Structure 1
Amino acid sequence: MKFLRAREVPGRVATGAYILHSGLEKWNGGDEQAAGLHGTAAAFPFLKSVPPRRFLKLLSATEIATGVALLTPFVPAAVAGAALTGFSGSLVALYLRTPALRKPGSVWPSPAGTGISKDVWMLGVGLGLLADAATRRRDG
């Protein structure tokens, strides 16, 4: 069994704690929060059919599971990296699919998009964990 490398710790702790906290905050969220997040997620048409309260619970559970995976030392880097890359990749995709979050004709954020555009750092950490895991397997 390969254990957590010291260089993984800062990225896993920073992203894991942040995502776990976010998920716990959403777990008992109200109707207004559910409707707001569901409205934003409607950039993905398949989510329109999911009721807002159910969507909020699913999002919360996903964040909690991703945060726990990142914070648990015996979860392999490949698994933690895949979870983080999938989660943060969906946030970056949401950002790119929502024109109001970006300056016209640009990838750079509008004032409304600054918060979500910053999630690109989590994508970088996730891809780094995946690359490290692939290198570790190759180098054996």
Structure 2
Amino acid sequence: MKLAHLPLRVTIGAFVLNSGLSKRTLEGEAEGMHAMAVGAVPQLSQLEPARFAKLLSYAEISLGAALLAPFVPATLAGLGLTALGAGLVQLYLKTPGMREAGSLRPTLAGTPLAKDSWLLGAGLTLVLEGLTHGRRRG
């Protein structure tokens, strides 16, 4: 892990890991979370809400651990983070009431989802830096 990646990977990794750990024992919240996800990705309706929550928990725990592990390449950790960020941005864009009419600007209810766009940006930064690392400018 590059020293310059340390602040980004540790802070985001710890946040995502904690989020995944907290989803392990969701009771009563899995249905609402699943319904919101189905609104953005209809194919998720094939999963039971409890199974969806468990899989999401495992995915977040794995991603958080990958970001924290110094031996996981930046490109690989960035791909996982980009996928999570893209999913959250899609949730924001497709969930009614999250944006002001005719705008990308979030409503008060949409701000918690809109702010997750930083995860997409951080993931893309890790991927791009990993892909361009060591290349010389011509």
- Give the TM-score, by structure 1 length: 0.93
Give aligned-pair identity as a percent.
46
Partner of 1:20: 17
Distance 1:15 1:35 in 2: 26
Partner of 1:49: 46
The alpha carbon displacement at 1:137 in A equals: 5.0
Partner of 1:89: 86
1:11 matched to 2:35? The reply is no
Distance 2:86 2:21 in 1: 21
Distance 1:56 1:108 in 2: 28
Partner of 1:120: 117
Distance 1:7 1:121 in 2: 17
Distance 2:95 2:26 in 1: 24
Distance 1:59 1:108 in 2: 27
- RMSD of aligned Cα (Å): 1.0
Structure 1: gaps spanning 5 or more residues: none
In the TM superposition, structure 1's runs of 4+ consecutive aligned residues that sit over 2 Å from their partners are: none
**Cα shift readout 1:97-123 (whole Å, capped 9, x = no counterpart):** 113111111101111111111101111
Alignment: residue pair count: 135
- Give the TM-score, by structure 2 length: 0.94
